[in-house]
Each structure stands twice: as C-alpha cells, then as structure tokens.
Amino acid sequence: MGSLSALGLQANASKNFAEKLANTQAVLRHALQDHALSNRKLTQASSLGAEDVVITHLLETLKAELGLAAFPADVFVLNTGKLHAETLALLALSEATSTLAWRVFEPVQEQAIHFVKTNGELAMRESLDLRKACCHIRKVEPLGRALMGYSAWITGMRSEQSAARADVHAVDTSEARTKYNPLVDWTWGDVLHYIVTNNVPYNALHDKFYPSIGCEPCTRAVSLGEDFRAGRWWWESKEGESAKECGLHVKA
C-alpha cells in the first residue's frame, strides 16, 4: 500500500487541501458534539471504498481527540451478498482493528433467494426494473434497518463523482434525517492523498482501477478519462445513466 501502488500514483492533493481537510473536520466535529450533547446517534454508511475509509479514519481520530463519554457515531456496511472478496477482506480487517463499532446488514434471505430463483443470477442486467428490484432487496430495505433509531448519517458522496451528485451539500437537512457529506468538495486526488499520507488501509480494488466500489456483478474497472461511476451498471443506456444510483441516495 505504498506510494508506488496504482492508487498512490493518483494521490495528488488540491492546492487548498489543508483548508478542505479543516472544513471536513469541523463539520464532523460539530456533528459529533451536537449529537453527544443531545444524546442522539449518527452513523456512517460505508461501502469500504476510498472515501469511506477516509471518513472512518477521521471519525476514529476525532473520537480520540474529543474524548466524549459516549461516542455518538458508529459505522454500518450493507453486505449485499454480492460484494467482492477484496471488499469482504477489508470489512474483516476494519471490524478487527477499528476503534468504532461496526454494524453489518444483510438482505432478507428469503427475498434474495426468491428473486434469484425467479429472475436468474444476472437478472439485474436484463432491465432497469430488475436491477432496481435487486438493489431494493439487497440495499434499500437493509438501509432502512441500518438507519432506524439514528437521527443522522454520514456518506462519502463527492460532487465530482457524477453529474447527479453535482449539487450535493456538506450538510443536507432537506429530509427528516440529516445527511452529512463531509467530503463533498474533495477531489479524487485529495481522497487518495489522505489515504497515502495517513497510511489508511484501503480496498485492493482501487489498485485494479475500480474507483467506485459496489457489488461484484455490477461493477467493473474504468479506463483513463471515464467518469468515476462509469464502472457501475455499465450496460445501462443513457437513459439509465441519470439513475446510476442504487436508491440509497435518492430523495423521497
């Protein structure tokens, strides 16, 4: 995981990276203190991708810095049953070494099995409806369980990732549950710079040119110049392009 890895070669920080980092830390610090004071809980949604390991590392650092009697944040992962071996390996390492509590949510097994039996293993590639149905069973429904009892969540969304994410804000209060997107203005180079300089364990898929981490059947490596999320559901038409989200970040 040194600076000679494929990931290390792209680790070029913005000129104002120090300022961006300070803003990100301020957003997270305020969220943590606010939740601790009011006895509320917040949770980080982690796909075990580069942005998410940065946020987890920032939370761990703030946990040590703030010394709160009861730390109000934890991390959750949606184990869809279709994750890459590299992602599962990083999950196991994170659970074993993190100072934060981790929660893992799986789909309702009967529903997942029934879907595959009825529609086939690769049904998600047959139509947008079937893909969304699979995402609903394996991601959206478990997400609802993961967020139950939490007044806010933290994501690794960045505005640079896609046109659909261009208007993401660092603190989004447009829904009942506040969503913190503390890396909103970070570039890919900023994210990788943080990982390399802080020696943060990261997903081995990034060294195989997977910038966005998802399910194994629905994610491929990208080529130079391709969009960050081009490797997600790549077979879908331009119409599906605007829907390159699994439903986790679609507003109600």
Which of 20, 35, 84, 131 touches ligand SF4 by CB under 6 A? Answer: 131
Which of 8, 189, 201, 217 touches ligand SF4 by CB under 6 A? Answer: 217
By CB under 6 A, residue 205 contacts ligand SF4: no
Binding-residue pattern over the window 38 to 77 for ligand SF4, x denoting contact by CB under 6 A? ----------------------------------------
By CB under 6 A, residue 161 contacts ligand SF4: no
By CB under 6 A, residue 246 contacts ligand SF4: yes
Minimum distance from CB of 214 to ligand SF4 (Å)? Answer: 5
Is the Cβ–Cβ distance between 80 and 217 less than 8 Å? Answer: no
By CB under 6 A, residue 7 contacts ligand SF4: no
Which of 72, 142, 156, 214 touches ligand SF4 by CB under 6 A? Answer: 214
- What is the secondary structure of 111-148 as a DSSP string? HHHHHHHHH-TTGGGT-HHHHHHHHIIIIIHHHHHHHT
The secondary element (H helix, E strand) that includes residue 154 is strand 152-154
By CB under 6 A, residue 240 contacts ligand SF4: no
Choose the stretch contacting ligand SF4; rule: CB under 6 A; options: 28-36, 135-143, 161-169, 178-186.
135-143
Alpha-carbon distance of 9 to 215, in angstroms, equals: 25
Alpha-carbon distance of 52 to 160, in angstroms, equals: 15
Alpha-carbon distance of 187 to 204, in angstroms, equals: 20
Start-end of H helices in the chain = 6-9, 17-37, 50-66, 85-97, 109-119, 128-135, 141-147, 188-197, 238-241
By CB under 6 A, residue 218 contacts ligand SF4: yes
By CB under 6 A, residue 189 contacts ligand SF4: no
Q: Is 246 a catalytic residue?
A: yes
DSSP class of 56: H
Tokens of 219: 């994610």
* Site for ligand SF4, rule CB under 6 A: 80, 82, 124, 131, 134-135, 138-139, 214-215, 217-218, 246
